[in-house]
Structure 1
Amino acid sequence: MDLISETYVDGRPGPAHPMAYPPLGGVDLADARRFTSGQPFGDYARLRRDAPVMWHPEPMGGPGFWAVTRHADVMAVDSDPATYSSQRGGILMGYGGPEARHGQLHRASLDAMINLDGATHMALRREHMPYFTPSYLRGLTDRVSAEVTRLLDDMARKGRCDLVANFSAHLPLYTLCEILGVPDADRPKFLGWMHFLEMAQNLAREQSPGDGPIDMANLPPEVQAFIDAFNANVSEMFEYGRTMLHKRRADPRPDLMSAIARAQVDGELLSDEYLDGSWLLIVFAGNDTTRNTLSGAMKLLTEFPDQKARLIADPSLLPNAANEFIRMVSPVIYMRRTATRDVELGGQMIGEGEKVIMYYGAANRDVAVFADPDRLDVGRPNADKHIAFGYGPHVCIGKRVAQIQLEEAYRQILARFPDIRWSGELDIAPNNFVHAVRQLGVEFTAEG
């Protein structure tokens, strides 16, 4: 199987066709620092209304991309991998110049199932499916419930704490490690790895987008120290993953790590490059998005106290509320595709080879689908129509695991701490790929 890292293209400069919609002033989706106050939902609303398929320039000589913001258009792109390819250009907005890349991280971010198209992609998905069946998930739910109780026991006497550090960062990590079969002693390492993975975008652009290339020879000492720590942690993460996956090949166990290690395409085991990619994908996707939704849901319940009261009064609403939390938070901000032919989308002609980027947070607040979309409604009748996990053949394979964690977390939190609220303390990382909540303060009446 060819390596995507050796065959991908970063997108053709465009647009090749006349723009059907004018570029909107003040909208900059390429600058990660503009996401530190949350996703730009006001800009999304303008885009949906005035330029739903808008040509967006890129800094540092990037070729530009089409920003897609309407629910129907995002679904059209996600459901047609023959026309909108993941494999041809990868799923990230850009992969940076060679001078700013971490070589192994760059390769692994491309050589992974999420970037594959067609039969190869489906073959690898099938290898993962036994760990997401209803019977498996029932047993996992019991373990998740016990872990939620343990974490809340640790929080109970504090009365005030950072929800991320005390809860949101730990529950998805526990769940992921349970599915993978990671030994208990090794699990704390994942927290450090996740911190550095989220900050990878900062490494690639320490200066503002218009400042030109980074002068790597004259970095401030604190930046150089961060880079050194980043490199050490990323190398440790990949070395651990590759070692464990090779162990599982030789001695398989009933866990997802063994399924990844022994997966085959056309009768051949995955190369080490694809093992690295599989490891990076499962560590990042299986942990980060759920963590940010857990934190984002607390902020929403504080901003909409009437909906919090509804949930406390009627916990049977929690499964639907979990979908509503995910819709409003939309923790994965975008996914990229590359057009394989000239194609019309939402009234705009797109040229072959041009990048197309789907904004899930924009689609999930499309008034054409969701009435009063900026309001939390735990009883929303079509909350499950959100596409925060994608749509079509690339829909997130672990979405039910995320829902289980949200349902159980808020079932216990609201029963035990009914007065819990966001304190106003909030820190969001400069990241325009995931909504990365680094800190979220909460207050509640302590037990004892």
Structure 2
Amino acid sequence: MRLVSEHVIDGAAGPATPPVYPTLPEVDLVDIQRFTKGQPWGDFATMRAEAPVMWHPEPRGGPGFWAVTRYEEVKRVNGDPVTFSSEKGGILMALGPPETRHPTLFSASTNSLINLDGRPHRELRREHMPYFTATYMKGLRARVAGEVTRLLDTMAPLGRCDFVEKFSQRLPIFTLCEMLGVPEADRERFMGWIHFLEMAQQVAMEQIDQLVGLTEPSPQIAAFIELFNANVAEMFDYGRHMLAKRRADPQADLMSAIANAEVEGERLPGEYLDGAWLLIVFAGNDTTRNSLSGAMKLFTENPEQKALLQSDPGLLTNAVHEITRMVSPVIYMRRTATADTEIAGQRIAEGEKVIMYYGAANRDAAMFPDPDQFDITRANAEKNIAFGYGPHICIGRMTAQLQLEEAYAQIFRRFPDIRWTGAMDIAPNNFVHALRRLEVEFTPEGIARAA
């Protein structure tokens, strides 16, 4: 099986053809520090109106990319992998100079299901599907509901806590580990690994800045990079150990499906096993965690929607669709043009990068009237593309839906006055909207019962 890492390209420097729409000077989608304030909804609105296919330059010698922000164009690019390839250039914004790439992370992040096109993508996706069907989800739901109860039991006497630390980072790890077949004793380690994976982009940026002379090396950064590398190595060592065990002794779990998957008649090479492990650990956790936390923020900011859901639990499924539309935890995906093409009147040259902004598309008034309003009764909320669209639609979207439904069915029943305090912390990351801390307060359950 051919390795994507051996032929992936960073994108052709551009633009090869004159931009039809202006490059808006106030918009900067590369600076990861800007995303610590949340997604740039105002910039996205301006782009949709004035520059729906906008040429965006990249610093440090990067080739630049076309930023696509309207619903129809994002959907079109996502649904046409022949013209807009995941495999040719990878799904991340920039590969970075070779000397700054973490060798294992670079290999694993490129040699994975999410970066494949065509037949290899279809075959590998098919191998995972038994663990992402409605039938499998039905069996998983009771275990997830039980874990929600257990986690809320630990929160109940507190009255105030970090919702991420106590709940939203723990539930997805439980669900993922149940699917993978990870022993309970090992599950706590996943939280540390995911924290460091979210910081990978910041580490890479710091190394590039040092390489080009923008910053001087410091002991603090060197110490953090050493800790980062140690945790990443530990994560991959654990994954290789568990996948080797499942090859030798398959079980009825997702880990065994990954370990024994075949593409074009051959078992996956080690590089793709690393890629599968990275993808499932990060993507299988991060999006759900941030949607759980983002939902708490939304319900606090829109108390009338919270009251509506509490009065009518039958709205919960549609509410989760609206939550994922509003939060859009995956900020973007990148594609590479395989031939000269056109999007919304803008010519795109072969080899140029096209980046789809899912949150921008999900707030397009042409598709979602009054798009910045959180409305759990929205008739077409399910049409959101927070999980992508077409052949690459997220394989785990039903798992995320299940967890959000079970979580908020119990949270509002047990803590009816729970609310976000206004305190939160967002990681410097322009790929995922990563909430690291979200403080909540509520009446402790014992006091509420007494009253």
| TM-score normalized with structure 1 length | 0.98
Q: Percent identical across equivalent pairs?
A: 66
Secondary structure at the aligned position of 2:25 is classed as: coil
- Matched AA of 2:318: N
- Matched AA of 1:321: A
Aligned position for 2:241:
243
Aligned position for 2:194:
194
Change (3 A) 1:164 1:367: same
Aligned position for 1:427:
425
Deviation at 1:101, TM superposition (A): 1.4
Q: Is the 2:173–2:285 Cα contact (8 Å) retained in structure 1?
A: yes
Deviations 1:12-45 (A, max 9, x none): 0011111110111200001111100100000000
Q: Is the 2:86–2:334 Cα contact (8 Å) retained in structure 1?
A: yes
- CA separation in 2, counterparts of 1:119 and 1:436? 32
Aligned position for 1:277:
275
Determine if the alignment matches structure 1 residue 119 to structure 2 residue 103: no
Aligned position for 1:327:
325
Aligned position for 2:16:
16
Change (3 A) 1:214 1:447: farther
Q: Is the 2:414–2:445 Cα contact (8 Å) retained in structure 1?
A: no
Aligned position for 2:352:
354
Deviation at 1:206, TM superposition (A): 2.4
Q: Is the 1:88–1:338 Cα contact (8 Å) retained in structure 2?
A: yes
Deviation at 1:180, TM superposition (A): 0.4
Aligned position for 1:155:
155
Aligned position for 1:412:
410
- Matched AA of 1:228: E
Aligned position for 1:287:
285
- Matched AA of 2:370: D
Deviation at 1:164, TM superposition (A): 0.2
Determine if the alignment matches structure 1 residue 72 to structure 2 residue 38: no
Residue of structure 2 aligned with 1:232, choices 230, 233, 237: 230
Secondary structure at the aligned position of 1:205 is classed as: helix
Change (3 A) 1:346 1:301: same
Aligned residue pairs total 446
- Matched AA of 2:156: A
- CA separation in 1, counterparts of 2:132 and 2:3? 27
Q: Is the 1:16–1:351 Cα contact (8 Å) retained in structure 2?
A: yes
- CA separation in 2, counterparts of 1:218 and 1:303? 42
Q: Which moved more, 1:388-397 or 1:96-105?
A: 96-105
| TM-score normalized with structure 2 length | 0.97
Change (3 A) 1:214 1:221: farther
- CA separation in 1, counterparts of 2:306 and 2:394? 28
Aligned position for 1:105:
105
Secondary structure at the aligned position of 1:426 is classed as: strand
Secondary structure at the aligned position of 2:288 is classed as: helix
- CA separation in 2, counterparts of 1:58 and 1:132? 37
Cα RMSD over matched residues? 1.3
Counterpart mapping for 1:173-192 below 5 A = 173-192=173-192
Structure 1 runs not aligned, ≥5 long: none
Q: Which moved more, 1:219-228 or 1:281-290?
A: 219-228
Q: Is the 2:128–2:254 Cα contact (8 Å) retained in structure 1?
A: yes
- Matched AA of 2:432: V
- CA separation in 2, counterparts of 1:216 and 1:241? 36
Aligned position for 2:339:
341
Change (3 A) 1:306 1:99: same
Deviations 1:204-253 (A, max 9, x none): 1128x9x6736699522221111111000100111111111111011000
Change (3 A) 1:247 1:216: farther
Deviation at 1:99, TM superposition (A): 2.3
Aligned position for 2:297:
299
Q: Is the 1:100–1:203 Cα contact (8 Å) retained in structure 2?
A: no
Q: Is the 2:336–2:352 Cα contact (8 Å) retained in structure 1?
A: yes
- CA separation in 1, counterparts of 2:393 and 2:176? 18
Aligned position for 1:143:
143
